[in-house]
Amino acid sequence: MTQLVKLVFAGFILLFIGGGCQSPTASSTAGFRNLLDSVVRLDVREASYTEGTRKMVRGVGSGVILDDDGYILTNAHVVGINAEEIIITLPNLERVEAELIGWDHWTDLALVKMDMESIKERGLSFSHGEFGESKALYPGQPVLAVGTPNGLTRTVTRGIISNPNRYFAASNQIGGYETGYFNTWLQTDAAINPGNSGGPLVDERGRIVGINTRSYLGSNNLSFAVPASIAMEILPQLKEQGRVTRSYIGLKPGALQDLESFYGIEANVGMLVDSIDPGSPAAEAGMRPGDIVLALDGHPLDVRFPEQIPPVLHEIAEYSIGETLTFTVLRNSREISVDVITEALESRVGERWAFEKWGISAEDVSKPYAREVQLDSDEGVLVTGVQQAFPAQQAGLNRGDIVLSINRENLDSLDAMKAFYDTYEENPEKVLFEVWRNHSLRYLVLEPR
């Protein structure tokens, strides 16, 4: 090959490679810079009730300002339900207090609001981000993760969308609270480190397509974010009522992958009922594990793969509480119709508190927990921790006990126990606890220290 041909060939390659690259437009650059100025650091002090004590726990995370009213979106595991102090550090390093407005552990999202009076009095200013379209993301699409990793100031890492529809089995990773039932996750190889949680995952135009949430420790390039579409959907309820109302029937779907031939059905048809919560609406209606649900209210279901499970649970959750759902079910080669009436979705974890003079940490008995351990009702208070050498431990109270009454007065909730404890603090004396343990009643006497 002559020198001239080599030069022409090299020039062609450079032209070909360069032709596919475009420099950032002025609008996309401005959009990303604006996004950077909307990312904040959160320092949180939260009450923790464990082993019979109340402790304050500190944490650091990230968030993104959403509007001119000072609302900030972050993770539920960054700002917990018992947060008592939230300090926001703005991009100009000014600090301002904030309060928790809404919390949804099911999606690991929380909404806080800055003290706007303080901001106005001090003449502070801030930018806010804009949402993009997370449903349109595709594998290989460039994204950037923004946050304050390990307590550092704003940091940007670059990567691509590895999978826009990653499935994880639901878990209890947020202090025992359930998460991951109703959504899949955005998987990216952009680094998301501790402290990045709650910050935005953005496209190249600086639009928010996800909220950084988790990564696999010890692995390379495995990070995950909650899709922006999920955040946009629940934000109105978080603002208006502080929580998200969802319907529940107690049905746990399973993927039919490779099982169709055993049930005599075609591929891409139906949903396996993997399990049914005891005492749930689905159980009361007669649904059984092993049933194949062909349709919901006449609409065919297709759950062949695990990533198809969250959309079905999300669809059920969107029904009004008390509404009747009609399932077309295949059982023993016969099609039957099953009507299920929805009820309000509740967390397995109830409100928590610590009664420190007794040495007890406790929580409300939730309806899901009551069903799980086959209680007749959700009245009473669940003991979650006992402190050594305190009255509760000396009386024989154990973690997992359910306190049904104190001095023969029934406890229908944690609030009732708080009211009795307030009286006890003023005048400590012997207390009789009626306790449910291992399907039998016990009576324990707590003596003041």
Taking residues 131-149, report their average pLDDT: 95
Which of 248, 252, 207, 254 has its CA nearest to residue 231? 207
Total length of the chain:
449
Q: What is the pLDDT of residue 218?
A: 66
Segment 377-404, tens digit of pLDDT: 899 999 999 999 999 999 999 999 999 9
Segment 32-91, tens digit of pLDDT: 889 999 999 999 999 999 989 999 999 999 999 999 999 999 999 999 999 999 999 999
Q: How far apart are CA 182 and CA 379, in angstroms?
A: 28
Q: What is the pLDDT of residue 59?
A: 94
Q: What is the pLDDT of residue 173?
A: 74
Which of 336, 382, 390 has its CA nearest to residue 358? 390
The one-letter code for the residue type at 360 is: I
**Count of Cβ atoms closer than 10 Å to residue 152 Cβ:** 13
Taking residues 227-244, report their average pLDDT: 98
Q: What is the pLDDT of residue 171?
A: 78
Whole-number percent of the chain with pLDDT over 90: 79
Residue 8 confidence (pLDDT) above 70 = no
Contacts of 185 (CB under 8 A, 6+ apart): 166, 167, 168, 213, 214, 224, 225, 226, 227
Q: How far apart are CA 405 and CA 399, in angstroms?
A: 16
Confidence of residue 25 (pLDDT cuts 50, 70, 90): low
- Mean pLDDT over all residues of the chain? 91
Taking residues 120-149, report their average pLDDT: 96
Residue 247 confidence (pLDDT) above 70 = yes
Segment 354-384, tens digit of pLDDT: 999 999 999 999 999 999 888 888 999 999 9
| Cβ-count burial 237-262 (b if 16+ within 10 Å, e if not) | bbeeeebbebbbbbbbbbbbeeebee
**Placement of tokens 């009820």 in the chain:** 343
Residue 24 DSSP label: P
Residue 159 confidence (pLDDT) above 60 = yes
Confidence of residue 2 (pLDDT cuts 50, 70, 90): very low
End-to-end Cα, the chain, rounded Å = 96
Confidence of residue 13 (pLDDT cuts 50, 70, 90): very low
**Residue 177: both structure tokens together:** 């609270």
**Residue 267: both structure tokens together:** 């591929």
Of 11 and 256, the one with more pLDDT: 256
pTM more than 0.85? yes
CATH 2.40.10.120 fits 27-245, yes or no: yes
Residue 182 confidence (pLDDT) above 80 = yes
Taking residues 145-149, report their average pLDDT: 91
**Residue 434: both structure tokens together:** 């009626």
Same fold for the pair 27-245 and 352-446: no
Taking residues 188-197, report their average pLDDT: 90
Which segment of 138-142, 153-157, 199-203 scores lowest on mean pLDDT? 153-157
Q: What is the pLDDT of residue 27?
A: 56
Question: For the chain, give me the number of helices (H) and strands (E)?
Answer: 10, 29
Confidence of residue 245 (pLDDT cuts 50, 70, 90): very high
Residue 300 confidence (pLDDT) above 90 = yes
The residues facing 89 across adjacent strands are 41, 95
Fold of 352-446: Pdz3 Domain (2.30.42)
- Given a contact cutoff of 8 angstroms between Cβ atoms, the answer to whether 225 and 186 are in contact is yes
Residue 21 confidence (pLDDT) above 80 = no
Taking residues 426-434, report their average pLDDT: 95
Class of residue 344 by CB neighbours under 10 A (exposed 0-12, middle 13-18, buried 19+): exposed
Which residues of 10-141 form beta strands (DSSP E)? 39-50, 53-65, 71-74, 83-89, 95-104, 109-114
Residue 12 confidence (pLDDT) above 50 = no
**DSSP letters along 235-271, please?**
HHHHHHHSS---EE--EEEE--TTTHHHHT--TT-BE
Residue 226 confidence (pLDDT) above 50 = yes
Class of residue 173 by CB neighbours under 10 A (exposed 0-12, middle 13-18, buried 19+): middle
The residues carrying an active-site annotation are 77, 108, 197
**Residue 230: both structure tokens together:** 């999920």
Report CA torsion sign: 179, 185, 187, 191. negative
Q: Out of 2.30.42.10, 3.30.1330.10, 3.40.1160.10, 3.90.1150.10, which CATH number does the structure's domain 249-344 have?
A: 2.30.42.10
Q: What is the pLDDT of residue 374?
A: 86
Residue 17 confidence (pLDDT) above 80 = no
Q: Domain spans of the chain?
A: 27-245, 249-344, 352-446
Residue 4 confidence (pLDDT) above 50 = no
